[in-house]
Amino acid sequence: MSRLGNLGARLYRGEVGYDFIGKRKIWYGVSILITITAILGLAVSGLNMGIEFKGGAVFTTDTKAKVSVSQAHEDAVEASGHEAIVQELGNGGLRIQITEVDTAKADQIKTQLSEDLGIPEEQINADLVGPSWGAQIANKAWTGLGIFMILVVVYLAIAFEWRMAVAALIALIHDITITVGVYALVGFEVTPGTVIGLLTILGYSLYDTVVVFDSLKEGTKDITKQTRWTYSEIANRSINSTLVRSINTTVVALLPVAGLLFIGGGVLGAGMLNDISLSLFVGLAAGAYSSIFIATPLVADLKERDPQIKALKKRILAKRAAAAAKGESEEAGQEPSFDGAPDAPEAAVVGQRRQPRGNGRTPGNRR
């Protein structure tokens, strides 16, 4: 067995573990700091909405231009009077996006670009996108996200309990906020592919969260019938028992996405991959973090407000304090005074019972 597999087995059996629940205030603080940074970035920089949402024209060339990408950008800005986004395609051609352009203006820009880029006008394709279409896409995206959230809450409330549904919803909002904030900070373009990526990461985030919740549900069955573990301790063990699995699935999912983002978008220059790959990369990492450090600790916080769980914790802590006092008094050579009830009755003696030794007489052999 590999070292990681051996560690996972020990975590699952509870032989080793990290106190995630006990240090939850640290994770809450880290998440709040990251979320505030994302919101500030969104408020200050805003999102770089793509042409699909703002409307405009997209010019593509089938042949390689006689100028560089930077020079093509300057030519596009000069020809249109608006900011332009220029990307080099895999065949050597260019893709030029210019927002807030109507049909008449698009024809003028196409003619000017043909002269500046040294490409015949018939080899430049122009596609117009209306702003109303972009507004419809945005509304449908928000509607789909809202329906998704409602279905998630209803399902988790039925399959588990309402506290887990609330914790999962907060974790999902946490993941979306961080991902959108990163887009605002780095200035990547937001396209329909970005929306698809956001919806995809919600599924990955829920997957890790539900795995921990399922382990927690099994571990806390009939929890009030024992006095050994508190709810938070069982929740912490559930996180540790599924930790290696969560790490493995997240790393395996991140590797191909990293290839899309850093190799496809960065090295090969396929800029159109950035819109979806960045949302997947950030969202997967944030989802793995929230399932371990946010969702389950929140469930423990909410659950320990329940009167039965609160009373159970009080009994367990009192029992441990009494046991500690008993051990100290025994070390001091004093008779301990402990009248608490043990977890279970003492084990009965199993086997053949010894009879007292007689005088060799039997009932039929009396003298």
Q: Which of 206, 205, 182 is nearest to 194 (CA)?
A: 182
User: Both tokens of residue 136?
Assistant: 């419809």
pLDDT tens digits, one per residue of 252-302: 888 888 887 777 655 555 555 677 888 888 888 888 899 899 999 999 999
* Exposure letters 250-283 (e unless 16+ CB within 10 A, then b): beebbeebbebbeebbeeeebbbbbbbbbbbbbb
298 and 202 housed in the same domain: yes
Pick the most confident of 109-113, 156-160, 186-190, 240-244.
Answer: 156-160
Q: Which of 129, 151, 178 is the last residue of a domain?
A: 129
pLDDT tens digits, one per residue of 151-207: 989 999 998 999 999 999 999 999 999 999 988 888 887 887 788 888 888 887 888
31 and 179 housed in the same domain: yes
Computed on alpha carbons and rounded to an integer, the radius of gyration of the chain in Å comes to: 32
Task: State the Cα–Cα distance between residues 44 and 188, nearest whole angstrom.
Answer: 15
Enclosing domain of residue 64: 56-129
Q: How many residues does the chain have?
A: 367
The predicted model scores a pTM of 0.74
Please name the residues in contact with 18: beta carbons below 8 A apart, sequence gap of 6 or more.
Answer: 240, 243
Q: What is the CATH number of the domain that holds 194?
A: 1.20.1640.10
Residues 215 and 242: beta-carbon distance below 8 Å: yes
Total domains in the fold of the chain:
2
Q: What is the CATH number of the domain that holds 78?
A: 3.30.70.270
Strand pairing class (124-129; 56-61): antiparallel
Q: Which of 119, 59, 48 is nearest to 86 (CA)?
A: 59
